[in-house]
Amino acid sequence: MATAQTTPASSAKPRRAAAPKSTARAKTTKRAGASASTSGNSSASTKRSSQAVKNGTVSSYAERAVLIPVGAALIAREQVLARVNDTIGSYSSPSKANAQLRKFERRGNTARNRLEREIRKTRVRVEREVRQTRGRVEREVRRRQRDGEELAGRVQERIQSLV
């Protein structure tokens, strides 16, 4: 820090010839003070980082990095155990197991009935569409047959009129 008060021997800027010596000396002193304060900032950041280590900031981050996954694993373990215990409790006696089986059977029966109902609805809808399409096609065929017969009759009449 003693160098901050003395003027540097090798100055990067040349001195002005027209300026009086007292002004030049004051400017160099200011420059030296500014460089001293700048170099003081790097030591201040070092002081802050060492202070953070002393305060435990870095160690608290490291501790969190270890404790978070451990806590998450313990919570997941508790949840798995709770599910397993619920399942074991559901089948712990024959009556509870039979009750669960009846519940599964009812659920399967409901799903089967719903599927059968949906299949019937789909079959009825498809059959209706087929009947409607068949009716339209048959009407169109009959109409074209009539048109063809009428055309054939007109052609025969024309031929006879020409002969």
Name which of 19-23, 49-53, 107-111, 115-119 the model is least confident about. Answer: 19-23
For the record, the structure tokens of 42 come out as 């790097």
Rounded CA separation 131/22 (Å): 115
Which pLDDT tens digit goes with each residue over 60-111?
888 899 999 999 999 999 999 999 998 888 888 889 889 999 999 999 999 9
pTM: 0.42
